[in-house]
Structure formats: C-alpha cells, structure tokens
C-alpha cells in the first residue's frame, strides 16, 4: 500500500532562504535607525538570521529586541508599544516557520524599490486566501505605522500620513556610546504622549490609511482564490498570470484611492510601481512554482524497514502533538455546554427546513451573549453551543442570560413551538482551539455529564464549581450527589434558578443513595 503526501521540491534550501531574509530585513531596519555602531548592525543581522535558520520563533524575538532598543532610545512610548505588540503577537508572527513575519519584513524592504504591492499579492498566492489576506493587511498597517513614526508622508508607494517624526534617525545617530544605555534617563524626560496626536493632520489621511490595508487584503485574497489546486496540471503555467492579474488589480485600486483622496505619491511613481508590482508578483510566483513546486511524496509500504520508519515517524508526531497540547493549548477553564430540548421531535413535526431556521435563530441570539460574558463560543455542529470562560462565575452568568433571552424570545411568539435549552457548567483542564474554544478535555466531559441531567430551561453545575463562582445573586438548589458516567467520584449537583418564579426540578437520573 502507498502513502501519499505533499512536499516542495528543493525544500532543503528553504530554511536558508528564510535565514537570509531574516538577516536582510534586520539589517535594513537597523541601518535605517542608525543607532548601533556601523560594524555592529551586520553582526546583529547575521545573528538573527542564524537563529532563524534553526528556530524561526527565536529569530523573530531577536529582531524585536534588536529593533526595539533603538525605538526605546528615540521615544520610550513608541519603543514600548512596539515591544508589547510584537511579543503579544509573537506566536502568530513565528507560526509556520515565521512566514507571516517574513511577509511583513519583505513588504517593508520592498518599499525601497516601490515593489511592496507585489509582495502583498504573493502573500495571498503562497499562504492562501485567508492567511495571505491577514498577512497583507498586517504588513500594510506596519508600514503605515513606520511612516507615522518617521514623520514620512509616504514609504514606497504607500501613503503613511506622517508629519512630525517621533523617531528621528538623525538624533539616534548623534547618541554617544548608545550601548552604555545612558539615554535611558533622558528618554523618560522626553515622554510626550501628545506627539502621537500630531502625526496625522487630516481626516483625509485617516481615510486613506484605513483604505490601503483593505485593498491589500482584498487583492491578496483574490490571488489565493485564483490559485490553481496542487493537482491541477495548469498550476505552474497559470501562476504568473494569476499573480500578475491580482497585482494589476491592486495597482488600479491603489491608484484610484490615491487620486480620489489626493494621496502624496505622484501618478508617475504609481505607474512605475504598478509595472514593478506585476513583474515582482509574476516572477515570484513563477520561481516558486518552477523551482520549489509542490510534488507528491509516495512511499511503498511492506518491508520491515518501511514499517519501522512509519512507526518512528508516528511516535515523533504523537510526541510533538502531546508537547504542543500540554504547553500551548491545555489550560484550566470553565466550560458551558448547551443543547436544545426535543430537537428530534421538532425536526419530525416541523421539518428539516423550519427546524434549521430555529437552530440558526437560537445561535444568533445566544452566541453574542457568550461573547458579552467574556467567553469564546461556537456551535457544536447540531443544536448545541459550547464555550470556554476564564471562571465559573462568567460561565454561569452567561447561562443565566441565555435562558432569560430565550424566555423573552418564546414569550414574544406565543402559540409557536418554544425553543428551550438545557445548560451544564464545569471547570477543569481543557484543550482549546486557535479561537480559544474548547474541543476536548476533562472540563468538557464533566460539563456534558452535568448537562445530561438537566431538562429544558435548567442550568446545572456542581457544588464544587459553584463555590468557586462566588455570590451569583440568584437562588440555587442542591439536588444531592450523583454518580456521573466515567467519573470516579460522585458529585453534588446544583441547579441555578434564573427566573423569579422558577421552581427547582429534580434531575433526570436518581441520585446516589
């Protein structure tokens, strides 16, 4: 039997290209700031590139520190904001071999030759529509922020709206012995928050600064959508045309925005940049598809050596997955789980279409309440909702507000089938997805068991979880101890009475005697 996967041809060269790009972007940034001694900037750039060769995330950290120190010396608020935002987004920037960071860095470097539009389009083509659009959007914002800090009206072909520099490279170059950190005390004295308010002079500038990232993201998404599938024989030949067309569209849109809003970049410069963008996008996509194409990787299984290799690979994958789950995604959270009462009966009586409408209305009504309570929620795929909260109190308050909202909804549609949910809340270890929503773990299992005891309109939790929630300012009733499935110790089940005239109802299973 054969196993098929995909890889890029000549993929061994990609880490070296990534390292070179990291080093190059770092050197350009340090050279522009003119803070370090001339001989030190290349050494720092090489160090960042070397770290990026082995550990892309560490390379990104090296860049943030190397660039953050000059920014702190120029303006303590600007430097501090750069470091806080950079480290807050570190996981996103360094994910998947730091490719989002490289898009931002290469787009910034491309402003030197007015080719940044081409980089934005290539981001969509290489990373896909959604991720590429997000990377292009963020790259545009970073370039705009850099222009504001430097007091530049434009960088490359991108209007940045700057008027007065917050970060002045000339002032940085005049520092004596900057690595002695003698600038720290004076920088506190120079803190002037009002400088940020003077960087943009007109509402027209603000509109243009808001439009440009949207145009970048839209055309990057277009390039990702137009990209041919991996198994399409025309993928290679169509790559330059796809990215070239997207780059031409971006150039036209950027020219239109600049003309309408009277941007600072001349029409001649925009025309030259349009040609450059088409060339960069087309050539870049062509090089990727012809030099580093995606190819199938097939291995015949059958021999003992192949089987052992498969086992070794599987064990490594499991080990890496366990480490990732433990270190990055497994946390202690309160989980809220709901489902609709009599869903099967409703489907049979109302039909699939009407039931689907009710399910969607209940999602539209309740999911915003989860977000308002500080939770991260999603639909479970059927008639249920699932959410994670930082604490049990938040989860129970969300459950109460959901029950009250449904009660109001049902009261407004008298004579029609009432939409009722049952809710269970439990806290403990849970694994979260990238959106902060639970998808497996002990807390999720416990919440499901607790919810299974409830009926429509009820909110159940355990006495232990309730004690951690503090005073909810609503009545609660204990229903005694229950032995939940696959949970060793019995737990005391508590009902939260959210309605003013609500009466406690016993759970659907008998308690432990």
Number of domains in the chain: 2
Tens-place pLDDT, residues 118-137: 999 999 988 888 888 999 99
Tell which of 294, 318, 339 closes a domain: 294
Note whether 409 and 479 are same-domain residues.
yes
CATH of the domain at 424: 3.30.70.1230
Closest Cα to residue 288, out of 483, 66, 119? 119
Cα separation, 390 vs 397, whole angstroms: 12
Round the average pLDDT of the chain to a whole number and report it.
82
Note whether 467 and 414 are same-domain residues.
yes
336 is written with which tokens? 């809220």
Q: What is the pLDDT of residue 215?
A: 93
Neighbours of 5 (CB within 10 A): 9
Residue 221 lies in a domain: yes
Higher pLDDT, 439 or 159: 159
The mean pLDDT of 474-497, rounded to a whole number, is 87
Higher pLDDT, 171 or 335: 335
The mean pLDDT of 414-430, rounded to a whole number, is 87
Residue 345 lies in a domain: yes
Q: What is the pLDDT of residue 370?
A: 92
Residue 252 lies in a domain: yes
The mean pLDDT of 35-50, rounded to a whole number, is 88
Residue 156, pLDDT above cutoff 90: no
**Across 32-46, 174-188, 226-240, least confident range:** 174-188
Note whether 222 and 129 are same-domain residues.
yes
Beta bridge partners of 428: 333
**Across 254-263, 295-304, 355-364, least confident range:** 295-304
- Name the phi and psi angles at 463, rounded to 5: -60, -35
Note whether 143 and 259 are same-domain residues.
yes
Note whether 400 and 347 are same-domain residues.
yes
- DSSP secondary structure letters along 385-440: EEEEESSHHHHHHHHHHHHHHHHHHHHTTTTS----EEEEEEEEEEEE-TTS-EEE
The mean pLDDT of 254-278, rounded to a whole number, is 88
Q: At 431, is the pLDDT very low, low, confident or very high (cuts 50, 70, 90)? A: confident
The mean pLDDT of 49-62, rounded to a whole number, is 88
**Across 32-36, 176-180, 209-213, least confident range:** 176-180
Work out the widest C-alpha separation in the chain, in whole angstroms.
Answer: 86
Q: What is the pLDDT of residue 38?
A: 82
Note whether 355 and 250 are same-domain residues.
no
Note whether 77 and 204 are same-domain residues.
yes
Which residue's entry shows tokens 């991720």?
A: 131
**Across 63-72, 453-462, 501-510, least confident range:** 501-510
User: For a pLDDT cut of 90, what percent of the chain falls above it?
Assistant: 21
Note whether 355 and 206 are same-domain residues.
no
Residue 122 lies in a domain: yes
Residue 308 lies in a domain: no
Residue 15, pLDDT above cutoff 60: yes
Tens-place pLDDT, residues 289-347: 888 877 655 444 444 455 555 556 555 655 555 555 555 567 889 999 999 887 777 77
Higher pLDDT, 102 or 166: 102
Q: What is the pLDDT of residue 435?
A: 78
Note whether 81 and 207 are same-domain residues.
yes
Burial class of residue 314 (count of CB atoms within 10 Å of its CB; 0-12, 13-18, 19+): exposed
Residue 389, pLDDT above cutoff 70: yes
Q: What is the pLDDT of residue 300?
A: 47
Q: What is the pLDDT of residue 94?
A: 80
Higher pLDDT, 336 or 184: 336
The mean pLDDT of 369-387, rounded to a whole number, is 88
Residue 322 lies in a domain: no
Note whether 271 and 344 are same-domain residues.
no
Note whether 158 and 26 are same-domain residues.
yes
Q: At 186, is the pLDDT very low, low, confident or very high (cuts 50, 70, 90)? A: low
Q: Is residue 200 classed as helix, strand or coil in its secondary structure?
A: coil
Q: What is the pLDDT of residue 4?
A: 44
Residue 53, pLDDT above cutoff 80: yes
Tens-place pLDDT, residues 267-288: 888 898 899 889 988 998 888 8
Residue ranges making up the domain that contains 470: 330-496
Residue 303 lies in a domain: no
Note whether 265 and 356 are same-domain residues.
no
Q: What is the pLDDT of residue 264?
A: 87
Higher pLDDT, 281 or 351: 281
Q: What is the pLDDT of residue 427?
A: 92
First-last CA distance in the chain: 56
Residue 2, pLDDT above cutoff 50: no
Residue 428 lies in a domain: yes
Q: What is the pLDDT of residue 423?
A: 94
Cβ neighbours of residue 315 under 8 Å, at least 6 residues apart? none
Q: What is the pLDDT of residue 394?
A: 92
């Amino acid at each position: 039997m054969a196993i098929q996967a995909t890889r890029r041809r000549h993929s061994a060269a990609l880490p070296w290209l990534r390292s070179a790009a990291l080093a190059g972007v770092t050197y350009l940034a340090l050279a522009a700031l003119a803070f370090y001694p001339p001989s030190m900037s290349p050494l720092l750039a090489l160090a960042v590139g070397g770290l990026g060769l082995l550990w892309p995330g560490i390379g990104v950290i090296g860049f943030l520190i190397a660039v953050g120190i000059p920014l702190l010396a120029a303006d303590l608020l600007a430097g501090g904001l750069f470091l806080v935002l950079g480290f807050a987004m570190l996981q996103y920037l360094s994910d998947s071999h730091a490719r989002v960071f490289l898009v931002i860095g290469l787009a910034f470097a491309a402003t030197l030759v007015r080719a940044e539009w081409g980089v934005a389009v290539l981001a969509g083509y290489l990373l896909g529509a959604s991720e590429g659009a997000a990377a292009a959007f963020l790259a545009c914002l970073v370039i705009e922020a850099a222009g504001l800090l430097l007091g530049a009206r434009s960088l490359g072909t991108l209007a940045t709206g700057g008027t007065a520099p917050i970060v002045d490279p000339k002032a940085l170059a005049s520092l004596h012995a900057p690595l002695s950190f003698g600038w720290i005390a004076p920088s506190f004295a120079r803190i002037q928050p009002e400088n940020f308010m003077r960087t943009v002079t007109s509402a027209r500038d603000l509109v243009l600064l808001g439009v440009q990232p949207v145009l970048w993201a839209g055309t990057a998404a277009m390039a990702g959508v137009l990209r041919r599938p991996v198994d399409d024989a025309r993928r290679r030949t169509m790559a330059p045309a796809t990215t070239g067309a997207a780059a031409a569209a971006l150039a036209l849109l950027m020219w239109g925005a600049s003309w309408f809003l009277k941007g600072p970049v001349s029409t001649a410069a925009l025309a030259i940049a349009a040609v450059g963008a088409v060339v960069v996008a087309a050539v870049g996509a062509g090089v990727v598809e012809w030099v580093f194409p995606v190819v199938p990787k097939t291995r015949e299984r059958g021999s003992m050596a192949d089987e052992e290799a498969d086992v070794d690979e599987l064990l490594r994958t499991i080990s890496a997955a366990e480490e990732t789950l433990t270190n990055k995604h497994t946390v202690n959270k309160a989980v809220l789980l709901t489902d609709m009462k009599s869903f099967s009966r409703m489907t049979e009586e109302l039909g699939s279409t009407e039931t689907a409408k009710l399910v969607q209305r209940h999602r539209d009504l309740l999911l915003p309440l989860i977000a308002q309570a500080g939770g991260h929620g999603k639909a479970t795929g059927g008639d249920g909702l699932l959410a994670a909260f930082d604490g049990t109190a938040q989860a129970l308050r969300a459950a109460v507000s959901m029950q009250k909202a449904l009660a109001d909804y049902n009261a407004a549609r008298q004579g029609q089938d009432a939409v009722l949910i049952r809710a269970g809340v439990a806290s403990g270890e849970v694994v979260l997805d990238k959106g902060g929503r639970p998808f497996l773990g002990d807390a999720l299992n416990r919440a499901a068991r607790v919810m299974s005891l409830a009926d429509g309109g009820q909110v159940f939790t355990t006495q232990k979880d309730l004690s951690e929630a503090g005073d909810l300012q609503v009545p609660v009733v204990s229903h005694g101890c229950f032995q939940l499935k696959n949970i060793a110790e019995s737990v005391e089940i508590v009902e939260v009475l959210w309605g003013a005239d609500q009466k406690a109802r016993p759970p659907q299973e008998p308690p432990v005697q």
